[in-house]
């Protein structure tokens, strides 16, 4: 699990247990309502706390925590972890939810959660600005940003001419022990990339064998699997590995904001482009605050902050004056049936973990 702010697991459980006992003691109908939040003024009080699960990292979470607390007077507590870890956690907490909002994960993770009845339906006020491909038909989740996956490299160690231009070039033996990869089982981003490599042949053959062979060759070139993104970034930045595969917005952000020696290549054959989403957890302890936060982090102002400061590509169609790196970057999207991903991905990743990942390659903590 990545770093977390304020609330430990024990604290989150204690908070939720206290709230549950309080609810059993007879909260008001207003407190239990999940109706759309429309505050009369910026200081109107909702619930006292809100708990967010998110893979977005401490920089984004801290900024929006500060802004939301200032507007609503609600204490924001968040846990920063991988998107697959969030799904597993929300699943384990089904009978006693701890989180109010799940902010950030590929749409396939949210579809899984919907199928398991883990999410509440909420249609936001800006629904008309979202293409139908950017939300669940029943509004159990909606898209907040689009995330192309890319080949990331250390520009001090690898020249633009040398770097792989497509996925298959990562398998060249010259890159042996020069690739650092985020451990995929905990990461929605990596699960999507690995699944995309399998899907390329699977879509026609209905057989994952060639995809598994591809992952075996990548594993042979992989030096290690990092337990979290920060470790992966640091190792590539230091030259312990010179290549990785990751989300384009994160690579741009690390280069521009933190001066990491990173550049990226959009694979010429095409790349999976994820829809990152947001959802209200079913039976959330603080449903009105959850809906307020959902709206707050998806306003046009928030979308521009996320684009300009955190390099997120918005899904809303009504955001003007976006940065040039968004409007001028040509992205060739892979044609993917995301329902196949949802159905097959867990089995594919389990096979990778049990049969492909080299045993001597520890998951570095």
Q: What is the pLDDT of residues 164-176, one digit of tens each?
A: 999 999 999 999 9
Q: Which pairing describes strands 313-314 and 142-154: parallel, antiparallel, or unpaired?
A: antiparallel
The C-alpha atoms of residue 251 and residue 282 are separated, in whole angstroms, by 33
Secondary element (H or E) of residue 228: none
Q: Two tokens at 247?
A: 């989300």
The C-alpha atoms of residue 17 and residue 229 are separated, in whole angstroms, by 31
Non-local CB neighbours of 161 within 8 Å, separated by 6+ positions: none
Instruction: List pLDDT tens digits, range 279-316.
Output: 999 999 999 999 999 999 999 999 999 999 998 999 99
Q: State the pTM of this model.
A: 0.73
| DSSP designation for 131 | -
Q: Two tokens at 269?
A: 């054959």
Non-local CB neighbours of 1 within 8 Å, separated by 6+ positions: 79, 81, 82, 85, 228
Instruction: List pLDDT tens digits, range 238-282.
Output: 999 999 999 998 999 899 989 999 999 999 999 999 999 999 999
In a 13 Å sphere around the CA of 7, the CA atoms on its Cβ side amount to 21
Q: Which pairing describes strands 262-265 and 49-54: parallel, antiparallel, or unpaired?
A: unpaired
Instruction: Round to the nearest angstrom and report the end-to-end CA distance of the chain.
Output: 10
Domains in the chain (CATH in brackets) are: 4-146+274-327 (3.40.190.10), 149-273+330-364 (3.40.190.10)
- Cβ neighbour number for residue 254 with a 10 Å cutoff: 20
Instruction: List pLDDT tens digits, range 50-83.
Output: 999 999 989 999 999 999 999 999 999 999 999 9
What confidence tier does 94 reach under pLDDT thresholds 50, 70, 90? very high
The C-alpha atoms of residue 12 and residue 281 are separated, in whole angstroms, by 15
- Give the CA distances from residue 5 to residues 57, 65, 154, in Å, rounded to whole numbers and listed in that order: 10, 10, 30
């Amino acid at each position: 699990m990545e770093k977390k702010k304020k609330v430990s697991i024990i604290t989150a459980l204690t908070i939720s247990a206290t709230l549950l006992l309080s609810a059993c003691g007879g909260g008001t109908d207003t407190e239990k309502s999940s109706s759309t939040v429309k505050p009369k003024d910026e200081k109107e009080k909702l619930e006292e706390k809100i708990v967010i699960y998110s893979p977005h990292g401490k920089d984004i979470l801290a900024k929006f925590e500060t802004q939301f607390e200032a507007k609503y007077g609600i204490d924001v507590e968040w846990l920063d972890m991988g998107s697959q870890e969030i799904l597993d956690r929300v699943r384990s907490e089904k009978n006693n939810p701890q989180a109010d909002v799940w902010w950030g994960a590929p749409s396939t993770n949210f579809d899984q959660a919907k199928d398991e009845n883990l999410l509440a339906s909420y249609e936001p006020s800006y629904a008309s600005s979202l293409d139908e491909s950017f939300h669940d038909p029943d509004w159990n989740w909606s898209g907040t940003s689009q995330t192309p996956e890319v080949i990331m490299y250390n520009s001090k160690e690898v020249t633009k001419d040398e770097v792989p231009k497509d996925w298959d070039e990562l398998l060249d033996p010259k890159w042996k022990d020069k690739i650092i990869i985020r451990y995929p089982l905990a990461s929605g981003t990596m699960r999507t990339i690995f699944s995309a490599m399998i899907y390329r042949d699977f879509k026609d053959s209905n057989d994952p064998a060639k995809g598994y062979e591809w992952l075996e060759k990548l594993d042979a070139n992989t030096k290690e699997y990092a337990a979290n993104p920060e470790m992966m970034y640091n190792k590539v930045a230091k030259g312990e590995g010179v290549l990785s595969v990751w989300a384009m917005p994160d690579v741009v952000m690390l280069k521009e904001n933190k001066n990491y020696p990173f550049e990226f290549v959009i694979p010429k054959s095409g790349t999976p482009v994820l829809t990152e989403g947001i959802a209200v957890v079913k039976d959330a302890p603080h449903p009105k605050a959850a809906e307020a936060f959902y709206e707050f982090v998806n306003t046009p102002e928030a979308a521009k902050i996320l684009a300009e400061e955190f390099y997120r590509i918005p899904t809303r169609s009504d955001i003007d004056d976006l940065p040039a790196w968004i409007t001028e970057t040509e992205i060739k999207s892979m044609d993917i049936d995301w329902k196949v991903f949802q159905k097959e991905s867990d089995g594919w990743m389990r096979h990778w973990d049990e049969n492909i990942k080299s045993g001597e390659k520890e998951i570095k903590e």
